[in-house]
Each structure stands twice: as structure tokens, then as C-alpha cells.
């Protein structure tokens, strides 16, 4: 009798947790009929925000891959004093409050910031432009990619890299023909993770880039604005982001489980790697 009561309580707790996680998402789709949600998406506010979101996220993601991949490979394959410190520097923006990331960007690239005068002299102004959105998004989203990519590269058997070298391939050829294809699943998963994070960026963006419609107003910022003006439009954008998030989550899971040469399952979506 006592055991069945325990089981019932356990089951009830699990059900509450599950419902709590699912309900907000379900609610977005139940309040307004789907047909109306689709029609609301043609609203100018939405299309403007969608364009800004897609452009900024695409550019940021390209930069993250271009610069983050070499950094991750370097940190995964070299052992040197200070490596743990550098890994921590990479991970820091993950735990940083977005508002702090935003003010940090101001302090670095704002008019009166660290590089402000340099940028000024070059005629460049970052804050409140699309570039500012890209900066904010890249800063907050790149650690997710770099962290996952480090784990993916670490999982590549060092013997395979060594074999490639003894077979006459230099470091560059070894990277492109051995390390990159073998770590591909983990890299794709990291890209999907950081893409999702980039698409949802709010705090750092609103501080560093503002919320200028058609210029820096991304979907999350538009949702926030429409929230008090036109709740149904805000909901429509929310629904759109839910669908994109589901797609990203699925692609992440697929790239991890069906990447044929994944050496181990070690590169599952554990965001923080071991400290060693």
C-alpha cells in the first residue's frame, strides 16, 4: 500500500514537470486558430523582423563557423599551459547574463569604448546597426558551437591524425580530410545549438543594437514590442520560432545519432566539457 502511494507521488511529480514544460508551447498554438496565425505572419512588423533575424543569424553563424572551428581544433589538439584558462574564456559568455554581454560590447565597440576611436577613425559605427546585432548574437552563441566542436575534435582518434601525417599529409590536409569529416556530426550539432541560441538572442541585442524596426529589430525583439500592442501578432511570431526551434532540435539530434563516423557518443549535447 505504502509502495503504491510512493509510486503515485513519483508519477504525479513527473507529470507536473512534463506539463509545465509543454504547456507554454501548446498554449501558443491553441489561443489563436492556425489559419489566423499564418495570416498574421504577413504583417509588416513580422516580415521586417524575420529578414533582420535571418540576416543577422546567418552572418553570425558563418562567422562563428569560420573563426570558431580553428579555435576549437586548436584547443582540442594542443596541450599547453594556460589551455584550461583559454577554454574558460571561451565558455564564459555562456554563463554571462545577456545584459552584461550587451554592456561589455558597448564598452569594447561603443563610441567611447576600447576600440571606439579606432572604429570612428575608420568611419565605422557599430552600435544600433545590423553589425551590432551580429556582434551580440555571435558573442552569445559562439561558445555553444566552440564548446561542442572541442568535444567533437577531441573524440577523433589521435592515431588517425598521426596516420594521416605519416602517410604524407600535412597539418592542413589532415584537418580537411580526416579531422573535419570525422568530427562533422559534432560540428553540425554545435552549429544547430548555436543557431538556435542566436535566433533567440534578446538581452545583449536590445542593449547594443536597440530595437529599430527593419534595422535591428529581430523576431524576439519584435515579439517583445508587439506583446503590448498586438498580442496575436506576437503569438504568431512565437509560433514561427517554436517551429524553427523544433526543426533545429531535430536536426541536432539527427546529426549526432546518424553521423556514421561518430567515434563515440561522448559528444552528445553536453555543453561544458571536462575541465582537463
Partner 1 sequence: MAALSADFRLGLRSFELSLGLAVERTVALVGPSGAGKTSVLRVIAGLARPDAGRVELDGETWVDVERGMFLSPERRRVGLVFQEYALFPHLSVRQNVAFGGRERVDDLLERFRIAHLAASRPRELSGGERQRVALARALAREPGVLLLDEPLSALDAHTKATVRVELEELLRGLELPTLIVTHDYEDAAALAETVGVLVEGQLRQIGAPEELVSRPADPFVASFTGANLLRGHAELLDYGLTSIRLETGEVVYSTDRARGEVGVVVYPWDVSVGRVHVDGSALNLVAGEVTSVVPVGNRVRVRIGPLTAEVTAASAEKLELARGGTVYASFKATGTRLVPIA
Contact between 81 and partner 1 by CB under 8 A: the answer reads no
**Residue that the C-alpha cell 570525422 belongs to:** 182
Contact between 160 and partner 1 by CB under 8 A: the answer reads yes
- How many Å apart are CA 161 and CA 192, to the nearest integer? 26
Contact between 260 and partner 1 by CB under 8 A: the answer reads yes
Contact between 54 and partner 1 by CB under 8 A: the answer reads no
- Using the contact rule CB under 8 A, the part of the chain among 45-53, 94-102, 113-121, 176-184 near partner 1 is 176-184
Contact between 187 and partner 1 by CB under 8 A: the answer reads no
* Cα-Cα-Cα-Cα dihedral sign, residues 25, 28, 29, 30: positive
- Using the contact rule CB under 8 A, the part of the chain among 88-96, 123-131, 135-143, 152-160 near partner 1 is 152-160
Burial class (CB in 10 A: 0-12, 13-18, 19+), 78: exposed
Contact between 255 and partner 1 by CB under 8 A: the answer reads no
Q: Tell me the three cell numbers of residue 12.
A: 504525479
Task: For residue 242, give the nearest of 61, 22, 89 by alpha carbon.
Answer: 22
Q: Which is nearer to partner 1, 112 or 166 (CB)?
A: 166
DSSP string, 167-226: TT--HHHHIIIIIHHHHHHHHHHHHHHHHHHHHT--HHHHHHT---TTTT--HHHHHHHH
- Among 51, 65, 103, 169, which residue sits at the site for partner 1 (rule: CB under 8 A)? 169
**CA distance to 13, 16, 85, per residue, from 7 (Å):** 10, 14, 46
Q: Which is nearer to partner 1, 169 or 244 (CB)?
A: 169
- Among 8, 9, 16, 167, which residue sits at the site for partner 1 (rule: CB under 8 A)? 167
Q: Tell me the three cell numbers of residue 199.
A: 535566433
Largest CA distance in the chain: 78
DSSP-derived letter for residue 42 is T
- Among 76, 151, 182, 219, which residue sits at the site for partner 1 (rule: CB under 8 A)? 182
- Using the contact rule CB under 8 A, the part of the chain among 4-12, 22-30, 131-139, 159-167 near partner 1 is 159-167
Contact between 181 and partner 1 by CB under 8 A: the answer reads yes
**CA distance to 51, 72, 264, per residue, from 28 (Å):** 22, 38, 38
- Among 10, 231, 261, 272, which residue sits at the site for partner 1 (rule: CB under 8 A)? 261
- Among 27, 58, 95, 162, which residue sits at the site for partner 1 (rule: CB under 8 A)? 162
Site size for partner 1 (CB under 8 A): 19
- Using the contact rule CB under 8 A, the part of the chain among 82-90, 118-126, 142-150, 256-264 near partner 1 is 256-264
Contact between 164 and partner 1 by CB under 8 A: the answer reads yes
SS3 content of the chain, % helix, strand, coil (to 5): 75, 0, 25
- Using the contact rule CB under 8 A, the part of the chain among 164-172, 190-198, 235-243, 250-258 near partner 1 is 164-172
Judged by the rule CB under 8 A, the positions of this chain that interact with partner 1 are: 157, 159-160, 162-170, 177-178, 181-182, 260-261, 263
Amino acid at each position: 500500500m505504502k509502495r503504491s502511494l510512493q509510486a503515485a507521488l513519483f508519477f504525479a511529480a513527473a507529470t507536473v514537470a512534463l506539463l509545465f514544460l509543454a504547456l507554454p508551447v501548446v498554449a501558443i498554438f491553441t489561443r489563436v486558430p492556425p489559419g489566423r496565425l499564418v495570416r498574421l505572419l504577413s504583417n509588416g512588423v513580422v516580415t521586417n523582423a524575420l529578414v533582420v533575424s535571418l540576416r543577422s543569424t546567418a552572418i553570425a553563424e558563418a562567422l562563428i563557423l569560420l573563426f570558431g572551428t580553428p579555435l576549437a581544433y586548436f584547443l582540442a589538439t594542443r596541450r599547453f599551459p594556460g589551455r584550461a584558462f583559454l577554454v574558460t574564456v571561451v565558455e564564459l559568455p555562456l554563463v554571462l547574463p545577456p545584459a552584461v554581454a550587451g554592456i561589455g560590447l558597448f564598452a569594447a565597440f561603443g563610441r567611447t569604448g576600447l576600440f571606439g576611436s579606432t572604429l570612428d577613425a575608420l568611419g565605422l559605427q557599430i552600435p544600433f546597426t545590423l553589425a551590432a546585432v551580429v556582434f551580440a548574437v555571435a558573442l552569445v552563441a559562439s561558445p555553444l558551437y566552440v564548446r561542442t566542436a572541442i568535444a567533437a575534435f577531441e573524440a577523433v582518434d589521435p592515431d588517425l591524425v598521426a596516420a594521416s601525417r605519416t602517410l604524407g599529409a600535412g597539418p592542413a590536409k589532415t584537418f580537411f580530410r580526416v579531422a573535419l569529416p570525422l568530427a562533422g556530426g559534432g560540428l553540425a550539432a554545435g552549429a544547430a545549438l548555436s543557431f538556435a541560441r542566436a535566433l533567440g538572442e534578446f538581452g545583449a541585442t536590445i542593449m547594443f543594437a536597440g530595437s529599430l524596426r527593419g534595422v535591428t529589430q529581430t523576431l524576439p525583439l519584435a515579439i517583445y514590442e508587439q506583446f503590448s500592442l498586438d498580442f496575436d501578432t506576437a503569438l504568431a511570431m512565437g509560433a514561427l520560432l517554436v517551429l524553427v526551434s523544433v526543426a533545429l532540435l531535430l536536426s541536432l539530434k539527427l546529426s549526432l545519432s546518424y553521423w556514421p563516423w561518430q567515434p563515440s557518443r561522448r559528444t552528445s549535447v553536453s555543453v561544458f566539457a571536462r575541465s582537463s
